[in-house]
Structure 1
Amino acid sequence: MKDQSQFPCNFVIFGATGNLASNKLLPSLYHLEVANRLPPALNFTAYSRRDWGQEDWKKHMQLTLQDKIGENFDEEIFAKFSARFSYLQGELHDLDSYKRLYEELSKPKEGVCSNMIFYLAIKPTEYNSVVKNLDAVGLNKPRGLHRIVLEKPFGEDIESAHLLNEVLHRSFDEEQIFRIDHYLGKETVQNLLVFRFANTLIEPLWNRNFIDHVQITVAEDIGIEKRADYYDKAGALRDMLQNHLMQLLAVVAMEPPPALEADALRDEKVKVLRSIRPISKRSISAHAFRAQYAAGFVNGKSVAGYQDEEGVEKASATESMVAAKFYIDNWRWRGVPFYLRTGKRLAKQMSLIAIRFRYPPQQLFRETPVESIAPNWILLSIQPSESMHMEIHVKRPGLEMDTRVISLNASYRKTDEVPLDAYETLLLDIIEGDRSLFIRFDEVEWAWRVVDPILKHWAQERDFIHTYPAGTWGPEEANRLFDSEDHQWRNEL
């Protein structure tokens, strides 16, 4: 373990009783406790508006962890973990609550520490209030020391992203701001860097001379899950494509950085985002498609359509699915389409990066029973499984010259190795101060520049939106994005 004198001693979770804290933060922090990766001096403050006492919070945390962890829940570990927590009831907009928080954090504690962490597990619309109140009571002092963590989306468009950034920078330096995109914490995404840059077998082929197109799909079979107050204003483009999918695109397309250091990695991602060809207003329909789920069946169960979800505005034109096509105008990728797709209530839960290679350049097998040679694929599965697949041709056994496709599967995790949740990686990086897997503001800015023309165009067209039955892969009209008739969505490994 690193020098623990450099670790924070206070970790404040705003919105501690919310969905994010319950579903992700508490289980991940518990697993870090199990792995003995939390510094001994690290204490947590759970900040929430619920009128609870310490025992109420401890009971809530115990029930939450028992539900999420199941039979692996350990009473002894939990006793050690829960002893790190104190509960503070407070409102996000109430300055007096922050004064009480200041007093709580000023109490002397055992151990040596250098800073505090403020994790904003709250709605993005509340960020401004929290940052301003932290500043008002002096919890951002001394400047440059503490860390603040924000979840996506970072703004609603490029203008609001700039305003949020200005508010943050009045109280915190860029080096203190940790913008989380949990996809960057997933093992397969990190393994993509190794897959590309540690294997001379792969990297020479990773360009427009060999690759025909790239597909990135993040599909969910769940609906909006009572988040209409947020989702009906955001939609799939803001909620997923502008951040998660654009980050995956940047990692797939980036040049080799000189070192695996935070700014070196982020410099290369920004170069990719800056190289994406701008979409003109008259060509948006050829580059972006949106749709909304109607009633249907998911995993054999009947589910309601988007407009029948609780809290959704009647006749809402908010997209629950979006597909888009981008081109990266640089030496490596010029002319290669990148197809991005994401949506809710699709056929299955799946996150997949699919790279299709070009056809062989000659008709070597034209006088044999082989009618055509299908192109090779590299498939990087992010979820539900974490694995890599490569499809190649071999001769089919027998007297005839015939071929078949086989899949070389590289499930890099051994059977006895437990998968990590992305938040475990990212929370440990926050504690240790490693910003490599976090997003710098210029990445946010250039991602908004890419999608802003689409957002503005759709904002003017609110009268009609395509629909698709829940439990399907979306409307056939999404296929109009493809450059070639032989392009089609890859839905399976």
Structure 2
Amino acid sequence: MVESCTFVVFGATGNLSRNKLLPAFYHLESAQRLPDKMAIVGVALQEWNTEYWRQQVAQDIQLKARGDLNREILARLLQRLHYFQGDFTVVETHQHLKAYLEKESQIFPSNIVFYMSIRPADFGVVANNLGAIGLNLERDGWRRLVVEKPFGYDLVSAEMLEVQLHRYFRERQIFRIDHYLGKEMIQNVLVFRFANVLFEPLWNRNYIDHIQITHAETAGIEGRAGFYEGTGALRDMIQSHLLQMLTLVAMEPPPNMDPESLRDEKVKVLKSIRPISVSTVRSYAFRAQYVSGSIGSNKVVGYLNEEGVASNSTTETYAALKLYIDNWRWRHIPFYLRTGKRMATTASHISIRFKEVPQQLFRRTPIHRLEPNWLLLGVQPNECLRIELQTKEVGLEMRTHTTGLDAASCGQEEAKLDAYEILLLDVIKGDNSLFLRDDEVRWAWQVIDPILRAWATEREFIPSYNAGSWGPSETGRLFDCDDQHWRNTL
């Protein structure tokens, strides 16, 4: 049984809360998954009251709800909402918040989740303020602290953040949320690998040629120049989302599915990634920046012409990486990761190419070359699992064509769970399987840090690619073999 709790959201009037968290709570309310007495307390600087906040949330959910809005469900959710005005960067606000929660104890359960939907610069400040007045202590119920990415901007800042978080909170109380891990297909990778005996014998260096992990977006920086100029594609996507996808694809079977066993295996993968030295970055990483082009029928400006972007900026909007995992299973098998803004389409997928057959039996037939087998996992927007095999064409001659074997869900447009619905419910249940552990964050930064340091010294020039394309052609130099190429679609 899920225990009731008080869910405190710092930054309750911000975009994340309005567009993701509150709509997720609505859908959990609709599914009857929220504890009966659970309360949600929004903390923000705006001088609002509870009634006005409820009105704003109702308007937001009308726009974000899947399907037809259910007024009865919305009313039930709104009754859970309570607004607390204050500056969460000062300790006095937390003192008043503590007094408020204790005074209204019949409304607010003693178990508390603190969700930091705030600027990364304030994570440590809020954690220290909570600890300074004892809101971290579990005397009358459990306490959980939810931290949104990014977890630092490089290895040093990530380690500093961990020191701040652990000053008052124990590791088991900290939930570092990466919403990608809540996506259905990402979780399905584990089921696909470990619930089917068919693929595990093939899941190694003997049969797999290489693995690609792609996240492409048609969107630009969407007016977030202040954030993106200090972040870039490598930090924003590869260090977090794409490396997490890599660990799930490459990990060994855990002894069981408890959170620590699962996260232990993910950390082993990150620890096994071959280190990249600053001097060899050019052989393993590539960056670029979009210039003007067309997305569909719409003309779009280049990155340097986006509002708030410096005219001489070398911030990358495209990043590609080649990694090797030096363990028994994956020795010498390249993993290619790439992400980009203003790409030809919006899609995330994992593409696994198998090696060619060891003997060319058909050389005296019209078959000149056999295409390799692929295993394709679509993550978004369409969740899909597809296997590509070679079969004979109908006819008198020996010719082949590629046949795709699709999972039953491929191409269906049924309503999907949002990742935040899954992850918020896991926080309430205390299941941290899909959340990052402190050593996991540290090892991920160790993979990326040499690349960041090398690129920081290259401020005069950055390659470009046209908006609406699949990125720069020069990125092909990362491939080990001439017959390897980016797989752009499923």
TM-score normalised over the length of structure 1: 0.96
Which residue is 1:387 aligned to?
384
Which residue is 1:210 aligned to?
207
Which residue is 1:281 aligned to?
278
The 2-side partners of 1:229 and 1:91 are apart by: 22
Partner amino acid for 2:54?
K
Equivalent of residue 288 in structure 2, options 285, 288, 291:
291
Q: Confirm or deny that 1:354 pairs with 2:344.
A: no
Q: Confirm or deny that 1:106 pairs with 2:141.
A: no
Q: Confirm or deny that 1:65 pairs with 2:64.
A: no
Q: What runs of 5+ residues in structure 2 fail to find an aligned partner?
A: none
The 1-side partners of 2:117 and 2:129 are apart by: 16
Partner amino acid for 2:224?
R
Displacement of 1:437: 0.6
Equivalent of residue 464 in structure 2, options 455, 463, 467:
467
Conservation of the 8 A alpha-carbon contact between 1:58 and 1:82? yes
Which residue is 2:334 aligned to?
337
Equivalent of residue 261 in structure 1, options 258, 262, 267:
258
The 2-side partners of 1:27 and 1:110 are apart by: 26
The 2-side partners of 1:145 and 1:173 are apart by: 12
Displacement of 1:314: 2.5
Partner amino acid for 1:304?
V
* Alpha carbons of structure 1 residues 410 and 227: separation in structure 2 relative to 1, 3 Å: same
Partner amino acid for 1:426?
L
Q: Confirm or deny that 1:410 pairs with 2:411.
A: no
Query: Secondary structure at 2:124's aligned position in 1?
Result: helix
After superposition, what is the alpha-carbon deviation per residue over 1:114-150, rounded to whole angstroms, capped at 9, x for unaligned? 5200001111111111111112222112379300001
Which residue is 1:86 aligned to?
82
Displacement of 1:311: 1.8
Conservation of the 8 A alpha-carbon contact between 1:392 and 1:407? yes
The 2-side partners of 1:184 and 1:132 are apart by: 27
Conservation of the 8 A alpha-carbon contact between 1:207 and 1:332? yes
The 1-side partners of 2:119 and 2:343 are apart by: 25
After superposition, what is the alpha-carbon deviation per residue over 1:415-448, rounded to whole angstroms, capped at 9, x for unaligned? 6963111111101000000011111011101100
Equivalent of residue 182 in structure 1, options 174, 179, 183:
179
Displacement of 1:23: 1.3
The 1-side partners of 2:224 and 2:94 are apart by: 27
Residues 249-258 or 217-226, more deviating: 217-226
Which residue is 2:324 aligned to?
327
Conservation of the 8 A alpha-carbon contact between 2:101 and 2:108? no
After superposition, what is the alpha-carbon deviation per residue over 1:378-426, rounded to whole angstroms, capped at 9, x for unaligned? 0000001011000001111111111111000004489696311111110
The 2-side partners of 1:153 and 1:427 are apart by: 18
The 2-side partners of 1:66 and 1:30 are apart by: 10
Displacement of 1:479: 0.8
Q: Confirm or deny that 1:242 pairs with 2:239.
A: yes
Moved over 6 A (4+): 413-416
Partner amino acid for 1:261?
D
Displacement of 1:104: 2.0
After superposition, what is the alpha-carbon deviation per residue over 1:136-174, rounded to whole angstroms, capped at 9, x for unaligned? 222112379300001111111111111100111011000
The 2-side partners of 1:292 and 1:377 are apart by: 30
The 2-side partners of 1:276 and 1:402 are apart by: 41
Equivalent of residue 56 in structure 1, options 49, 52, 58:
52
Which residue is 1:121 aligned to?
117
Conservation of the 8 A alpha-carbon contact between 1:327 and 1:335? yes
The 2-side partners of 1:42 and 1:88 are apart by: 16
Partner amino acid for 1:220?
E
Which residue is 1:452 aligned to?
449
Displacement of 1:110: 4.1
Query: Secondary structure at 2:389's aligned position in 1?
Result: strand
After superposition, what is the alpha-carbon deviation per residue over 1:39-73, rounded to whole angstroms, capped at 9, x for unaligned? 01110011111111222211110110011126521
Conservation of the 8 A alpha-carbon contact between 1:386 and 1:411? no
* Alpha carbons of structure 1 residues 460 and 176: separation in structure 2 relative to 1, 3 Å: same
* Alpha carbons of structure 1 residues 13 and 375: separation in structure 2 relative to 1, 3 Å: same
Conservation of the 8 A alpha-carbon contact between 2:39 and 2:107? no
Conservation of the 8 A alpha-carbon contact between 1:278 and 1:450? yes
Conservation of the 8 A alpha-carbon contact between 2:131 and 2:169? no
Partner amino acid for 1:439?
L
Conservation of the 8 A alpha-carbon contact between 1:41 and 1:110? no
* Alpha carbons of structure 1 residues 406 and 8: separation in structure 2 relative to 1, 3 Å: same
Which residue is 1:252 aligned to?
249
Displacement of 1:91: 1.3
* Alpha carbons of structure 1 residues 282 and 112: separation in structure 2 relative to 1, 3 Å: closer
Q: Pairwise mapping of residues 147-158 of structure 1 onto structure 2 (< 5 A)?
A: 147-158=144-155
Query: Secondary structure at 1:72's aligned position in 2?
Result: coil
The 2-side partners of 1:413 and 1:358 are apart by: 25
Partner amino acid for 2:166?
H
Task: Tell me how large the CA RMSD over aligned residues is.
Answer: 1.6
Q: How many aligned positions are there?
A: 489
Displacement of 1:18: 1.0
After superposition, what is the alpha-carbon deviation per residue over 1:241-273, rounded to whole angstroms, capped at 9, x for unaligned? 001000000000000001011000000001110
Q: Confirm or deny that 1:437 pairs with 2:459.
A: no
The 1-side partners of 2:317 and 2:165 are apart by: 30
Q: Confirm or deny that 1:47 pairs with 2:34.
A: no
After superposition, what is the alpha-carbon deviation per residue over 1:285-336, rounded to whole angstroms, capped at 9, x for unaligned? 0100011111221132122211222222221111111000000001100010
Residues 135-144 or 98-107, more deviating: 135-144
Which residue is 1:137 aligned to?
133
TM-score normalised over the length of structure 2: 0.97
Query: Secondary structure at 2:12's aligned position in 1?
Result: coil
Displacement of 1:92: 2.6
Displacement of 1:80: 0.6
Query: Secondary structure at 2:231's aligned position in 1?
Result: helix
